[in-house]
C-alpha cells in the first residue's frame, strides 16, 4: 500500500516492554465432601463450586456430612478460595467410595475427578486438596493421583489407632503429591464442649495460610495453629503423641520417620510437625520440593503461552530463554529457590525437530529444603575458669 501524503510528522509507537512471567496462584483449596442437607443450588452434586464467602457456605452446607465441619475448620484459620465438589453418600461403603473417587462418564467428571475440571468451570485451579473424614486407602491413593495431575498436594489422615498401625499404613503409599497426617485434632465449640475435627481440614487451611504469609516454599511444619478466638478453636489432639525434640524414639519422631506428619505442642501452641511426603524418590521427600517442582512447571508454562504458534526463529528461542532466566533470578531473589537456569542446547534441537515446529528448552533448578535436623555439640570445659583471678580483681 502506497504511503498516504502527509505534510507533517508521523509517529509510530513501539512497545518494547519485556514480558513478565507471573507466579501461579497457590493458596487455592480443593475439597471433596458430603453434605446431604446442603442447598442444591449452592452445592450441586459432582460439580466444582468456587466458595469465597465461607460463612455463607457453611450455612448452605447444612447439617450432617463432612462439608460444614470442614469449611468451619478452614474459616477459623484462613480466608482463601475454596473449590468444593459435593458427592452423595451411597447405599453402602463401596458405593460411597465410588462416589468420592468418581469417574469420567459421557464427558462429565464426577467425584474428585471433577476437581480436574475446576479451572474451566470456576476460573481457579485447586492446588491444596483433601477429602477430610472420607479417607481410606483407595480414596487417598486416588486423591494423590488427582493432585499430581493438577500439580498440587493432597493431605489425608493416616488410618490406625496407634503409632505402629499408622506406620504400617503409611508404608503403602509412594506419591510425592501426598502428605499423611495423624491424629485428628479436637476443637472447642463456642458452648465450651470439645469435639474431634478433621486433621486434613486444618492442614489445608494452614497450608493456604502459610502460602499467603510466608510462601509456598515453606513447609506445613512448625507453624502455630490459630489460638482460641471467640471461645472456640483448636485445643488438642485425639490421640496421645509423645514429643521431645531431642528424643529420636518419641512418637512424633517415629511418625515423621514413617513419612507421617503429626501434631505437637511447643510453648503451649499446637503445630503440625513433619515436612515429608510419601514419595519413594528422595528428590521429593519434602513437601517443599514437590510444590517447587509443580509451581515452577506451571509458572513457566503459563508464562510462555504467548510464544506458541509464533514463527520459530532464533530470536524467539532467545526470548524464551531470557524470560525464563529473568523469572528464575526474581525467584532466587525472593528466596523461594536456590537458583535455576534455562539453556538452549543445540544437541536437543536437531534440524528435523525444528522443521517440525518442535523447540526444546531445558532448565535446571534447586529447591530449598527445610532444616529438618539441627546438630548441636555440647562440650564441658574449664577454660572459662582460667582467668578467674583476673575476673575477681576486676
Report pLDDT digits (tens) over 1-39: 556 776 666 665 655 556 778 888 899 999 999 999 999
- Do 181 and 263 share a domain, yes or no? yes
Asked whether residue 296 is assigned to any structural domain, the reply reads no
- Do 283 and 309 share a domain, yes or no? no
Instruction: Pinpoint the alpha helices (H) of 214-361.
Output: 251-257, 287-303, 314-334, 351-355
Residue with cell 510444590: 291
Asked whether residue 280 is assigned to any structural domain, the reply reads yes
- From 227, 253, 288, the end of a domain falls on 288
Asked whether residue 277 is assigned to any structural domain, the reply reads yes
Angle subtended at Cα 96 by Cα 150 and Cα 86, rounded to the nearest 5 degrees: 50
- From 234, 261, 288, the end of a domain falls on 288
Q: CB–CB of 50/199 below 8 Å? A: no
Q: Which domain holds residue 390?
A: 304-394
For the stretch 323-382, pLDDT in tens is 999 999 999 999 999 999 999 999 999 999 999 999 999 999 999 999 999 999 999 999
Dmax over CA atoms of the chain, in Å, equals 101
Task: Name the nearest CA neighbour of 212 among 78, 333, 327.
Answer: 78
Q: CB–CB of 176/277 below 8 Å? A: yes
Q: What residues does 195 pair with on adjacent strands?
A: 187
Q: CB–CB of 65/99 below 8 Å? A: no
- Do 317 and 276 share a domain, yes or no? no
Q: Please state the domain count of the chain.
A: 2
pLDDT of residue 14: 57
- Do 121 and 198 share a domain, yes or no? yes
Cβ atoms < 10 Å from Cβ of 321 = 17
- Do 280 and 316 share a domain, yes or no? no
Task: Name the nearest CA neighbour of 288 among 335, 343, 342.
Answer: 335
Instruction: Pinpoint the alpha helices (H) of the chain.
Output: 54-61, 67-75, 93-101, 118-122, 137-149, 163-170, 199-213, 251-257, 287-303, 314-334, 351-355, 388-393
Least confident span in 133-137, 273-277, 338-342, 380-384: 380-384
- Do 193 and 150 share a domain, yes or no? yes
- Do 311 and 281 share a domain, yes or no? no
- Do 212 and 347 share a domain, yes or no? no
Task: Give the Cα separation of 31 and 204 in Å (integer).
Answer: 9
Least confident span in 18-22, 97-101, 246-250, 311-315: 18-22
Asked whether residue 197 is assigned to any structural domain, the reply reads yes
- Do 283 and 158 share a domain, yes or no? yes
The burial class, CB within 10 Å (0-12 / 13-18 / 19+), for 42 is middle
Asked whether residue 12 is assigned to any structural domain, the reply reads no
For the stretch 279-335, pLDDT in tens is 999 999 999 999 999 999 999 999 999 999 999 999 999 999 999 999 999 999 999
- From 256, 288, 320, the end of a domain falls on 288
User: Average pLDDT over the chain, rounded to whole?
Assistant: 93
Asked whether residue 270 is assigned to any structural domain, the reply reads yes
Asked whether residue 244 is assigned to any structural domain, the reply reads yes
Q: How would you list the strands of the sheet with 194-197, edge to edge?
A: 194-197, 185-188, 233-237
For the stretch 105-125, pLDDT in tens is 888 999 999 999 999 999 999
In the three-class reduction of DSSP (H, G, I as helix; E, B as strand; rest coil), residue 108 is classed as strand
Instruction: Look up the pTM and report it.
Output: 0.92
Cβ atoms < 10 Å from Cβ of 239 = 16
- Do 51 and 146 share a domain, yes or no? yes
- Do 262 and 339 share a domain, yes or no? no
Q: CB–CB of 129/111 below 8 Å? A: no
The 3 state secondary structure assigned to 164-202 is HHHHHHHCCCCCCCEEEECCCEEEECCCCCEEEECHHHH
- Do 312 and 204 share a domain, yes or no? no
Angle subtended at Cα 203 by Cα 289 and Cα 217, rounded to the nearest 5 degrees: 25
Task: Name the nearest CA neighbour of 322 among 354, 351, 300.
Answer: 300
pLDDT of residue 320: 96
Half-sphere exposure of 302 (CA within 13 A, CB side): 13
Asked whether residue 6 is assigned to any structural domain, the reply reads no
Amino acid at each position: 500500500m502506497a504511503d498516504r501524503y502527509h505534510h507533517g510528522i508521523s509517529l509510530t509507537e513501539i512497545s518494547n516492554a519485556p514480558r513478565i512471567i507471573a507466579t501461579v496462584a497457590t493458596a487455592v483449596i480443593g475439597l471433596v465432601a458430603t453434605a446431604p442437607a446442603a442447598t442444591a443450588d449452592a452445592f450441586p452434586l459432582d460439580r466444582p463450586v468456587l466458595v469465597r464467602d465461607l460463612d455463607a457456605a457453611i450455612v448452605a452446607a447444612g447439617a450432617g456430612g463432612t462439608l460444614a465441619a470442614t469449611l468451619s475448620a478452614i474459616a477459623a484459620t484462613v480466608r482463601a478460595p475454596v473449590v468444593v465438589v459435593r458427592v452423595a453418600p451411597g447405599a453402602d461403603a463401596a458405593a460411597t467410595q465410588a462416589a468420592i473417587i468418581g469417574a469420567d462418564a459421557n464427558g462429565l467428571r464426577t467425584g474428585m475427578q471433577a476437581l480436574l475440571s475446576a479451572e474451566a468451570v470456576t476460573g481457579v485451579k485447586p492446588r491444596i486438596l483433601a477429602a477430610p473424614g472420607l479417607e481410606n486407602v483407595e480414596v487417598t491413593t486416588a486423591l494423590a493421583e488427582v493432585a499430581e495431575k493438577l500439580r498440587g498436594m493432597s493431605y489425608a489422615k493416616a488410618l490406625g489407632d496407634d503409632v505402629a498401625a499408622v506406620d504400617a499404613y503409611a508404608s503403602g503409599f509412594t506419591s510425592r503429591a501426598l502428605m499423611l497426617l495423624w491424629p485428628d485434632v479436637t476443637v472447642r465449640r463456642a458452648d465450651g464442649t470439645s469435639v474431634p475435627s478433621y486433621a486434613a481440614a486444618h492442614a489445608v487451611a494452614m497450608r493456604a495460610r502459610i502460602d499467603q504469609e510466608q510462601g509456598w516454599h515453606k513447609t506445613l511444619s512448625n507453624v502455630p495453629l490459630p489460638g482460641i478466638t471467640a471461645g472456640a478453636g483448636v485445643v488438642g489432639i485425639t490421640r496421645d503423641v509423645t514429643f521431645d525434640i531431642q528424643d529420636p524414639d518419641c512418637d512424633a519422631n517415629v511418625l515423621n520417620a514413617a513419612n507421617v506428619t503429626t501434631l505437637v505442642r511447643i510453648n503451649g501452641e499446637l503445630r503440625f510437625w513433619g515436612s515429608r511426603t510419601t514419595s519413594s524418590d528422595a528428590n521429593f521427600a519434602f513437601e517443599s520440593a514437590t510444590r517447587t517442582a509443580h509451581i515452577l512447571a506451571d509458572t513457566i508454562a503459563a508464562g510462555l503461552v504467548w510464544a506458541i504458534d509464533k514463527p520459530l526463529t532464533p530470536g524467539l528461542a532467545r526470548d524464551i530463554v531470557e524470560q525464563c532466566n529473568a523469572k528464575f533470578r526474581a525467584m532466587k531473589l525472593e528466596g523461594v529457590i536456590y537458583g535455576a537456569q534455562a539453556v538452549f542446547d543445540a544437541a536437543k534441537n536437531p534440524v528435523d525437530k525444528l522443521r517440525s515446529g518442535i523447540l526444546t528448552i531445558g532448565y535446571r533448578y534447586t529447591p530449598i529444603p527445610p532444616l529438618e535436623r539441627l546438630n548441636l555439640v555440647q562440650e564441658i570445659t574449664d577454660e572459662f575458669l582460667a582467668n578467674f583471678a583476673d575476673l575477681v580483681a576486676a
